[in-house]
């Protein structure tokens, strides 16, 4: 029973982490109409950035403080260099270009950090964990990550509900063409949305770095799972991404307990079930 | 519609074929193996082009079937003996086909972005099935110790261990796969797939079960990919989970785009180009030789070493440059170079002897029909009867629920409540293609023809929908009847004969609207639902089309929504007035014109003037 409880906690925490990556992905598609396969690479670069910045500053939270603005700027650069050429092109070309970006980022990662896995230390004040039973403890760092993700999700709710940018994003959720018709400078909006998406993915990568080892290809499972979350939640819907991410996180964690051999298939089966019932996702506009 | 390859394409393909046939005589073992691999990947990517370029479904999980085909060879091979190729190949095709039927039945429910993501997810599911478990060596992959042998009884016909035999087998497989797909897309079945690519809703409204068509195309593509997969496993005798993964799927998409989607031969050229670029980038000596054209030898050598060391990054930049500079791929260049294609000459048609007798059309009856969207009731308890062989107009202010009404009648929307009877048979709630099959055809407010098809091809698609089983691979069956129907439709709708073989995208707006009606006639529909057929027409065109509608009512019942009051009062036998989703009045134009309630709610000034 304790194991199930721990896995449930892990599932929610994992779900919160995927939400950071998936929310960026869903916004980038919902508002800009771009399929961004390189989204997982930003998670990976975040994790490797955490490795270097933690070594430099000595603390993962300082790394976060420096890393997130860097990721935002990096997002602006990538949008300007590559992504902006994709707005008027079809899905096929978007898939192709962002797939090529993965090749480039992976090679860059190999050149800068090499092919071996690394680990990033948990800060000394978050060592140890909460005692759940005589045998099991739940690490403080995981609790801190979950709390951080919740705080960030609340911040996103605030931005989306209360600010001007948020209003535009909400308009884009329900109808992308509307945003263009409202006379908003879409170039600036797109650049902001893309950079914010990159920053979110990188944030997820940074805080996740101490949880597991940092290795080449770390972003790829996150990319795939984020797409599953976006499909379940409905394209463009941040609320859908949140609920989808928690669902997937929990399904994945419980799958590991009950169907260890097919744990990753549980997630896809869940997606298939949602699609049969609602082809446009839980909160999506009709597909 | 996808044409036969142009002469220049045939020349290029034949040159490649001649090169391949001669290769075993001058190429070493490495060249032979590389060429075999390229040809196998070629089969894989042209099967993907059937989905992406022909049916318009961007699958990001096609490697699933390629990988399953490869694994099937491992499953069927005994531990230390050869599998019989006569069993291995059909097994691979079957395994891939069945898997595609299961996955496709869910995936095909979705469109566009969702389809891309869902196929990606299913591909990953297949990948993790092998990666996370101990099946076939799990993460490490598995070896197939002896290559397949084709034998009948004790007679050994082909042995894949012989590189040259294997090479020629792959070449033959590629040529046959290409010719098969080329034939397939030009059959009536393939014509529908192309129609779906350009306009899914329209095809459904014509009476095609687009879901079944898309699923069929998905399964066929997967079966061919499985065939390529089993050959691929025969190259090295090694299979690994990565074969099913999203990178392989992504690479295949890349080759399709690089070569030019929707041309079949393009992706093949894409596969060749991709492999050549990849091999060149991996080799520092070849790169240095290339760079030394621009700089001194020492620098060239240094630069070649650096690029070869990070060849996949260089490949990434090459692909980005290619997609930005040549979005239509290699085929795009070739087509541009060859100029505009000449459309095929129409076939001579034997004029039918039988004289045309007016036929009784269908009656449509609606009872207490309601359609609500959440709290908004767009159509509210409408009961009305449209007798056969008449022109019925539906009028009403904007937002009166006219288009919703038509959408419910044609099956695009399900009624919330009420009955719809076509010739006393209930059709309420049936799917659009079933409604269409029963003889109710519709047109759309926005012109909705298949733009890359000629007018004649558009009508041929519609005529094809008339016969019950549209899964047809023969060009001959029903051909005379259909050509006749197309001819009649073109003539009846007044499309000039010299305009019939021009692509619909090059027709004028009025001609496109006429073509919509022609498609309905060709489809054999007995009741036509027309959503603003006169929209955007000049006075002369309006006159021509209203005359056409009167003529058509000899064999059809016509129900149309129209905003042009002068035209509809002149053309219609009955008028139905909808206001705020409710039926306000129904009657002859005279009755409607003098109806006080209608005048107050809607016609207002216009009614007054018209009366005076």
- CA distance to partner chain B, nearest, from residue A124 (Å): 34
Least confident piece of the model among B17-26, B331-340, B350-359: B350-359
Q: Which of A263, A228, A261 is nearest to A245 (CA)?
A: A228
Would you call B113 an interface residue with chain A, using a CB distance cutoff of 8 Å?
yes
Residue among A84, A86, A99 with most chain B CBs within 10 A, to mutate: A99
Contact A96 B124 (CB under 8 A): no
* B89-103, B228-242, B356-370, B592-606: range with highest mean pLDDT: B89-103
pTM: 0.82
**Average of per-residue pLDDT across B344-363:** 58
Please report whether residue A85 resides in a domain. Answer: yes
Q: Which of B11, B8, B31 is nearest to B20 (CA)?
A: B31
**Average of per-residue pLDDT across B543-558:** 85
Residues of A in contact with B109 (CB under 8 A): 275-276, 279
Contact B312 A103 (CB under 8 A): yes
Residues of A in contact with B310 (CB under 8 A): 107, 110-111
Q: How many structural domains does chain A have?
A: 1
Partner-chain residue, chosen from A82, A99, A108, that has the shortest CB–CB distance to B313: A108
Q: How confident is the model at residue A287 (pLDDT cuts 50, 70, 90)?
A: very low
The CA distance from B314 to B317, in Å, is 5
Partner-chain residue, chosen from B109, B310, B327, that has the shortest CB–CB distance to A275: B109
Please report whether residue A287 resides in a domain. Answer: no
- CA distance to partner chain B, nearest, from residue A268 (Å): 6
Would you call A216 an interface residue with chain B, using a CB distance cutoff of 8 Å?
no
Taking 80 as the threshold, does the pLDDT of residue B3 lie above it?
no
Taking 70 as the threshold, does the pLDDT of residue B578 lie above it?
yes
Q: How confident is the model at residue B494 (pLDDT cuts 50, 70, 90)?
A: confident
Please report whether residue A272 resides in a domain. Answer: yes
Residues of A in contact with B113 (CB under 8 A): 29, 35, 91, 235
Please report whether residue A283 resides in a domain. Answer: no
Would you call A272 an interface residue with chain B, using a CB distance cutoff of 8 Å?
yes
Please report whether residue A284 resides in a domain. Answer: no
Taking 70 as the threshold, does the pLDDT of residue B552 lie above it?
yes
B410: CB partners within 8 A, 6+ apart: B205, B432, B435, B436, B440, B442, B529
Taking 70 as the threshold, does the pLDDT of residue B172 lie above it?
yes
B91: CB partners within 8 A, 6+ apart: B72, B75, B76, B230
Would you call A99 an interface residue with chain B, using a CB distance cutoff of 8 Å?
yes
Residues of A in contact with B374 (CB under 8 A): none
Residue among B120, B124, B256, B261 with most chain A CBs within 10 A, to mutate: B124
The CA distance from B335 to B266, in Å, is 10
Would you call A92 an interface residue with chain B, using a CB distance cutoff of 8 Å?
yes
Average pLDDT, chain A: 86
Contact A235 B125 (CB under 8 A): no
What is the structure's pLDDT at B355? 46
Taking 60 as the threshold, does the pLDDT of residue A48 lie above it?
yes
Residues of B in contact with A281 (CB under 8 A): 114
**Average of per-residue pLDDT across B273-299:** 78
- Cβ–Cβ under 8 Å, residues B560 and B364: no
Taking 70 as the threshold, does the pLDDT of residue B460 lie above it?
yes
Please report whether residue A282 resides in a domain. Answer: no
What is the structure's pLDDT at B354? 47
Sign of the CA dihedral with B97 first, then B102, B106, and B107 last: negative
Taking 90 as the threshold, does the pLDDT of residue A78 lie above it?
yes
DSSP string, B64-114: HHHHHHHHHHHHHS-TTSPPBHHHHHHHHHHHHHHHHHHHHHHHTT--HHH
Reduced to 3 states (helix: H, G, I; strand: E, B; else coil), residue B326 is coil
The CA distance from B555 to B557, in Å, is 7
Q: Which residue of B has its CA nearest to A287?
A: B111
Residues of B in contact with A269 (CB under 8 A): 125
Q: How confident is the model at residue B46 (pLDDT cuts 50, 70, 90)?
A: very high
What is the structure's pLDDT at B345? 55
What is the structure's pLDDT at A197? 93
Give the side-chain half-sphere CA count within 13 A for B408.
31
- CA distance to partner chain A, nearest, from residue B352 (Å): 46
Q: How confident is the model at residue B353 (pLDDT cuts 50, 70, 90)?
A: very low
More confident residue, B477 or B280: B280
- Cβ–Cβ under 8 Å, residues B137 and B79: no
Taking 90 as the threshold, does the pLDDT of residue B312 lie above it?
no
**Using CB atoms and an 8 Å cut-off, which of residues 259-298 of chain B contact chain A?**
261
**Average of per-residue pLDDT across B577-599:** 83
What is the structure's pLDDT at A177? 66
Residues of A in contact with B211 (CB under 8 A): none
Complex-level ipTM beyond the 0.85 threshold = no
Would you call B201 an interface residue with chain A, using a CB distance cutoff of 8 Å?
no
- CA distance to partner chain B, nearest, from residue A114 (Å): 12
Please report whether residue A285 resides in a domain. Answer: no
What is the structure's pLDDT at B50? 94
Give the side-chain half-sphere CA count within 13 A for B546.
23
For chain B, state the CA radius of gyration.
Answer: 30
Residues of A in contact with B124 (CB under 8 A): 224, 264, 268
Taking 60 as the threshold, does the pLDDT of residue B356 lie above it?
no
- What CATH number is associated with residue A142? 1.10.3470
More confident residue, B303 or B348: B303
Contact B121 A261 (CB under 8 A): no
DSSP string, B437-462: HTTEEE--SS----TTSBHHHHHHHH
Contact B253 A231 (CB under 8 A): no
Residue-wise pLDDT for A90-137, tens only, equals 888 888 899 999 999 999 998 888 888 888 888 888 888 788 777 778
What is the structure's pLDDT at A98? 92
Taking 70 as the threshold, does the pLDDT of residue A243 lie above it?
yes
Residues of A in contact with B58 (CB under 8 A): 91-92, 95
Q: Which of A35, A93, A84 is nearest to B332 (CA)?
A: A93
Residue-wise pLDDT for A28-45, tens only, equals 888 888 889 999 999 999
Residues of A in contact with B122 (CB under 8 A): 268, 272
**Average of per-residue pLDDT across A204-233:** 89
Taking 90 as the threshold, does the pLDDT of residue B59 lie above it?
yes
Contact B118 A275 (CB under 8 A): yes
Least confident piece of the model among B235-244, B294-303, B380-389, B497-506: B294-303
Partner-chain residue, chosen from A96, A235, A268, that has the shortest CB–CB distance to B113: A235
A201: CB partners within 8 A, 6+ apart: A20, A21, A24, A25, A39, A40, A42, A43, A46, A71, A222
What is the structure's pLDDT at B227? 95
Partner-chain residue, chosen from A95, A108, A279, that has the shortest CB–CB distance to B110: A279
What is the structure's pLDDT at A239? 87
Average pLDDT, chain B: 83
Cβ contacts from A onto B, under 8 A: 122
Residues of B in contact with A92 (CB under 8 A): 52, 58, 253, 256-257, 261
Residues of B in contact with A279 (CB under 8 A): 109-110, 114
DSSP secondary structure code for residue B163 in this structure: H
Give the structural domain span for A77. Answer: 2-277
Please report whether residue A229 resides in a domain. Answer: yes
Partner-chain residue, chosen from B125, B133, B312, that has the shortest CB–CB distance to A106: B312
Query: Which residues partner with B579 through β-bridges?
Result: B582
% of chain B exceeding 90 in pLDDT: 18
Would you call A70 an interface residue with chain B, using a CB distance cutoff of 8 Å?
no
């Amino acid at each position: 029973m304790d194991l199930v409880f721990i896995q449930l906690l892990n599932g929610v925490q994992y779900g919160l982490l995927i939400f950071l990556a998936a929310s960026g992905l869903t916004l980038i598609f919902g508002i800009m109409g771009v399929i961004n396969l390189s989204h997982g690479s930003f998670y990976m670069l975040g994790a490797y950035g955490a490795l270097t910045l933690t070594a430099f500053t000595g603390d993962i939270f300082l790394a976060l403080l420096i890393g997130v603005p860097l990721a935002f700027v990096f997002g602006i650069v990538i949008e300007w260099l590559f992504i902006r050429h994709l707005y008027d092109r079809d899905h096929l070309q978007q898939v192709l270009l962002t797939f090529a970006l993965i090749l480039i980022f992976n090679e860059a990662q190999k050149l800068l950090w090499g092919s071996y896995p690394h680990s990033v230390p948990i800060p000394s004040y978050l060592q140890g964990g909460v005692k759940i039973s005589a045998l099991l403890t739940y690490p403080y760092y995981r609790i801190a990550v979950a709390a951080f993700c919740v705080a960030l999700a609340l911040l996103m709710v605030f931005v989306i509900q209360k600010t001007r940018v948020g209003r535009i994003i909400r308009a884009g959720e329900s109808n992308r063409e509307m945003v263009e018709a409202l006379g908003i400078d879409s170039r600036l909006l797109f650049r902001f949305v893309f950079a914010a998406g990159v920053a979110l993915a990188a944030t997820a990568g940074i805080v996740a770095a101490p949880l597991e080892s940092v290795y080449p290809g770390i972003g790829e499972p996150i990319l795939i799972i984020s797409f599953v979350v976006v499909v379940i939640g409905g394209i463009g819907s941040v609320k859908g991404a949140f609920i989808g991410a928690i669902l997937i996180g929990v399904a994945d964690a419980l799958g590991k307990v009950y169907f260890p051999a097919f744990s990753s298939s549980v997630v896809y089966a869940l997606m298939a079930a949602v699609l049969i019932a609602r082809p446009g996702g839980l909160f999506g506009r009709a597909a | 519609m996808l044409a036969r390859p142009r002469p220049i394409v045939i020349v290029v393909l034949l040159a490649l074929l001649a090169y391949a046939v001669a290769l075993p005589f001058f190429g070493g073992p490495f060249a032979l193996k590389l060429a075999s691999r390229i040809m196998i990947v070629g089969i894989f990517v042209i099967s993907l082009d059937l989905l992406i370029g022909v049916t318009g479904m961007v699958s990001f999980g096609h490697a699933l079937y390629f990988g399953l085909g490869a694994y099937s060879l491992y499953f069927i091979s005994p531990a230390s003996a050869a599998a019989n190729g006569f069993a291995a190949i059909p097994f691979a095709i079957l395994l891939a086909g069945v898997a595609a039927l299961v996955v496709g039945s869910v995936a095909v429910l979705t469109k566009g972005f969702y389809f891309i993501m869902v196929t990606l997810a299913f591909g990953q599911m297949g990948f993790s099935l092998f990666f996370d478990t101990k099946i076939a060596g799990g993460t490490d992959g598995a070896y197939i110790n002896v290559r397949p042998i084709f034998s009948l009884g004790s007679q050994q016909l082909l042995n894949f261990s012989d590189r040259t035999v294997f090479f020629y087998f792959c070449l033959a497989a590629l040529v046959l796969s290409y010719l098969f797909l080329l034939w397939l897309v030009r059959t009536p079945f393939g014509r529908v797939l192309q129609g779906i690519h350009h306009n899914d809703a329209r095809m459904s409204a014509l009476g095609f079960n687009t879901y079944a068509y898309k699923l069929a195309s998905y399964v066929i593509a997967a079966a061919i990919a499985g065939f390529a997969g089993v050959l691929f496993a025969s190259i090295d005798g090694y299979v690994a989970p990565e074969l099913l993964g999203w990178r392989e799927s992504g690479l295949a998409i890349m080759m399709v785009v690089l070569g030019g989607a929707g041309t079949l031969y393009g992706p093949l050229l894409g596969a060749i180009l991709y492999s050549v670029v990849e091999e060149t980038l991996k080799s520092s000596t070849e790169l240095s030789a290339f760079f030394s054209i621009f700089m001194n030898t020492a620098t060239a050598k240094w630069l070649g070493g650096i690029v070869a060391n990070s060849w996949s990054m260089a490949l990434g930049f090459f692909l980005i440059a290619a997609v930005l500079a040549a979005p239509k791929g290699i085929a795009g260049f070739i087509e541009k170079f060859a100029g505009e294609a000449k459309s095929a000459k129409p076939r001579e048609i034997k004029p039918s002897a039988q004289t045309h007798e007016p036929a009784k059309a269908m009656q449509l009856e609606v009872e207490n029909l309601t359609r609500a969207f959440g709290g908004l009731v767009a159509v509210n308890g409408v009961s009305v009867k449209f007798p056969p062989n008449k022109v019925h107009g539906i009028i009403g202010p904007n937002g009166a629920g006219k288009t919703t009404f038509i959408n419910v009648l044609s099956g695009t929307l399900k009624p919330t409540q009420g009955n719809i009877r076509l010739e006393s048979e209930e059709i309420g709630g049936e799917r659009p293609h079933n409604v269409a099959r029963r003889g109710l055809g519709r047109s759309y407010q926005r012109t909705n023809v298949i733009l890359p098809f000629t007018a004649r091809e558009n009508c041929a698609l519609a005529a094809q929908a008339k016969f019950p089983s549209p899964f047809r691979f023969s060009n001959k069956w029903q051909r005379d009847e259909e050509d006749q129907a197309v001819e009649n439709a073109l003539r009846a709708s007044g499309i000039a004969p010299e305009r019939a073989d021009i692509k619909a995208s090059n027709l004028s707006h009025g001609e496109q609207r006429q073509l919509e009606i022609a498609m309905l006639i060709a489809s054999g529909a007995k009741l036509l639902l027309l959503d603003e057929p006169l929209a955007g027409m000049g006075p002369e065109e309006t006159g021509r089309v209203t005359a056409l509608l009167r003529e058509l009512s000899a064999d059809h019942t016509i129900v149309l929504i129209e905003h042009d009051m002068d035209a509809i009062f002149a053309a219609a036998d009955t008028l139905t007035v909808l206001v705020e989703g409710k039926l306000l009045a129904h009657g002859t134009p005279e009755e409607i014109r003098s109806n006080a309630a209608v005048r107050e709610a809607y016609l207002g000034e216009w009614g007054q003037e018209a009366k005076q």
